[in-house]
């Protein structure tokens, strides 16, 4: 199944021509395929199903759109959330509270309280300080907080530094060497019901070896904790599986991943939790954009598109590659720098990229933009927030409105003391 097929020379999302979405909704716009979301969710679920009855908790941060979450909820997915906002979204999308896992180093007292009020399935504690705080909040409310301890296994995930989370100096989790001591403490604290351990070492991983190393260390920790009398019933293996962004790139298959997990966890006797994000939504979305103009350049022409780094931050933030293709191929080729309108050089999607020849007014897409796309948008340069569309076979719906710059400006206030005469005189 190709969610973005070319039909009679024109790029579609499922059965809808992208040109129709551009005409009706405008550009830039994110377009998601329901069929691709369901295909990816099913593939993941099926791959890990032989590992007992694992919880697949979609990492909401990858794509928090309510309609996307609703599709995944219907596929039996739970949610990995990292803020009160994500928790509320997961609940609003119909994800059962007991399928929600709350990770993150900076959960506030208000967020921990919300998690307890909602009776979510698990809170992943990331520090001894957080354990103490959660204990106090839960005990004061007379409830038991089901929690796991996130550890930092000190492995190099071999991915971009900004998305590595499991090295010794990373802010996430507690060091393995301190894990037993912290877990012992958690077991004595009132209001805490520790049930296991968790990790997540990084994102867009191209290799299973670091994951296997980390899981093996986690298994050793489970043994040590059990030796000390702790009942370990759950292990959360995080997310991180990488996906191809360039045509032809190869990544470990879900089957290889599941086989590795089966091998490492064979004797663990726990319920496994997975937190996949990118692999579920990445290739299910594109960012549809229109060429504003093609400007002459010193080395290459600049294809200036109406999408910018505020809409899709990954190239500017991580030097990430997104394939770029026209909605209707011209047949001719050009080598160009693809840039947005924002006033910094970092607003560059590609340099010296060979693409189909494009002209002012043409439509094109950045592919594989379903993960960490719209969710990382900002309104920098007083641009609005980009809308999102979900396609389902031959129909589509706007699942997030475009937020116009004026709507953002309407939330701002100029205090009286800046507008009165006295203020101006000074
Ligand atoms: N679990 C936890 C605790 C996480 O922090 C993350 C991602 C995931 C699961 C999901 O990881 P995934 O399966 O999607 O790799 N903005 C970056 C990616 C940041 C990932 C942050 N954590 C990007 O655009 O590449």
CATH of domain 6-31+282-409: 2.40.37.10
The tokens describing 160, both together, are 């971009």
DSSP string, 77-110: -EEEE-SHHHHHHHHHTT--GGGEEE--TT--HH
For residue 121, the model assigns a pLDDT of 98
pTM equals: 0.97
For residue 421, the model assigns a pLDDT of 61
Q: Where in 296-425 does DSSP place strands (E)?
A: 302-305, 324-326, 333-339, 348-356, 363-366, 388-392, 395-400
For residue 158, the model assigns a pLDDT of 81
For residue 40, the model assigns a pLDDT of 98
Q: Tokens 């199944």 appear where?
A: 1
d(CA 218, CA 319): 32
| Minimal-distance CA residue to ligand 1 atom 23 | 372
For residue 425, the model assigns a pLDDT of 53
Residues with a CB atom less than 6 Å from ligand 1: 59, 61-62, 80, 103, 163, 200, 203-204, 238-241, 275-279, 314, 318, 372
Q: Which of 278, 321, 368 to mutate to test the pocket of ligand 1 (most atoms within 8 A of CB)?
A: 278
Q: Which of 78, 203, 371 to mutate to test the pocket of ligand 1 (most atoms within 8 A of CB)?
A: 203
| Sequence-separated (6 or more) residues with CB below 8 Å from residue 282 | 62, 243, 368, 370, 371
Fold of 34-278: TIM Barrel (3.20.20)
| Sequence-separated (6 or more) residues with CB below 8 Å from residue 71 | 34, 37, 38, 41, 390
For residue 423, the model assigns a pLDDT of 54
CA-wise closest residue to 198 among 228, 229, 225, 169: 225
Question: Which of the residues are catalytic?
Answer: 343
d(CA 305, CA 289): 6
CA-wise closest residue to 369 among 306, 283, 250: 283
CA-wise closest residue to 348 among 379, 385, 313, 375: 313
The runs of H, that is alpha helices, within 196-283 are 209-227, 254-265, 278-281
For residue 284, the model assigns a pLDDT of 98
> For residue 212, how far is the Cα from the chain centroid?
22
State the CB neighbour count (10 A cutoff) for residue 179: 22
Helix (H) or strand (E) holding 249: none
CA distances from 102 to 89, 95, 122, 257, 391 (A): 13, 13, 6, 24, 30
Domain segments of the chain: what residues? 6-31+282-409, 34-278
Bridge partners, residue 123, by sequence: 102, 147
> pLDDT tens, position by position, for the chain (426 residues)?
899 999 999 999 999 999 999 999 999 999 999 999 999 999 999 999 999 999 999 999 999 999 999 999 999 999 999 999 999 999 999 999 999 999 999 999 999 999 999 999 999 999 999 999 999 999 999 999 999 999 999 898 887 877 777 777 889 899 999 999 999 999 999 999 999 999 999 999 999 999 999 999 999 999 999 999 999 999 999 999 999 999 999 999 999 999 999 999 999 999 999 999 999 999 999 999 999 999 999 999 999 999 999 999 999 999 999 999 999 999 999 999 999 999 999 999 999 999 999 999 999 999 999 999 999 999 999 999 999 999 999 999 999 999 999 999 999 999 999 976 655 555
- Collapsed DSSP state (helix, strand, coil) of residue 307: coil
- Cα Rg for the chain, rounded, in angstroms? 23
Decide: 104 and 86 in contact? Cβ < 8 Å. Answer: no
Ligand 1 centre to CA of 80 (Å) is 10
């Amino acid at each position: 199944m190709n969610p973005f097929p070319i039909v009679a020379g024109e790029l579609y999302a499922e059965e809808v021509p992208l040109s129709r979405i551009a005409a009706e909704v405008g550009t830039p716009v994110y377009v998601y395929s329901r069929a691709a979301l369901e295909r990816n969710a099913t593939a993941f679920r099926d791959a890990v199903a032989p590992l007992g009855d694992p919880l697949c908790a979609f990492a909401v941060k990858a794509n928090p759109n309510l309609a996307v979450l609703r599709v995944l909820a219907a596929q039996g997915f739970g949610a990995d959330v990292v803020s009160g906002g994500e928790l509320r979204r997961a609940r609003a999308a119909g994800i059962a509270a007991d399928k929600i896992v709350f990770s993150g180093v900076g959960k506030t007292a208000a967020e921990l309280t919300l998690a307890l009020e909602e009776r979510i399935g698990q809170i992943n504690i990331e520090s001894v300080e957080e354990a103490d705080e959660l204990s106090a909040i839960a005990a004061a409310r007379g409830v038991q907080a089901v929690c796991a301890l996130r550890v930092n296994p000190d492995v190099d995930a071999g991915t971009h530094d900004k998305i590595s989370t499991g090295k010794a100096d990373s802010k996430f989790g507690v060091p393995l060497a301190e894990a037993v001591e912290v877990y012992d403490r958690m077991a004595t604290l009132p209001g805490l019901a520790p049930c296991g351990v968790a990790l997540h070492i990084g994102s867009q991983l191209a290799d299973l070896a670091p994951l296997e190393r980390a899981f093996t260390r986690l298994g050793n920790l489970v043994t040590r904790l059990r030796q000390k009398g702790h009942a370990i019933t759950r292990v959360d293996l995080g997310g991180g599986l990488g996906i191809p962004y360039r045509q032809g790139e190869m990544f470990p298959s879900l089957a290889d991943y599941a086989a590795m997990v089966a091998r490492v966890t064979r004797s663990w006797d726990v319920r496994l939790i997975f937190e996949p994000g990118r692999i579920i939504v990445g290739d299910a979305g594109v960012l549809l954009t229109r060429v504003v103009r093609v400007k002459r350049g010193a080395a290459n022409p600049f294809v200036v598109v109406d999408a910018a780094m505020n809409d899709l931050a990954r190239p500017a933030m991580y030097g990430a590659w997104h394939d770029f293709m026209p909605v209707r191929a011209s047949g001719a080729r050009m080598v160009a720098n693809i840039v947005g309108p924002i006033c910094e050089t970092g607003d560059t999607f590609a340099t010296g990229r060979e693409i189909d020849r494009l002209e002012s007014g043409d439509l094109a897409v950045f592919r594989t933009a379903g993960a960490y796309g719209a969710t990382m948008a900002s309104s920098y340069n007083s641009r609005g927030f980009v809308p999102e569309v979900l396609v389902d076979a031959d129909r589509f719906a706007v699942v997030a409105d475009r937020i116009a710059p004026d709507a953002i400006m309407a939330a701002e206030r100029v205090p009286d003391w800046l507008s009165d005469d006295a203020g101006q005189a000074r």
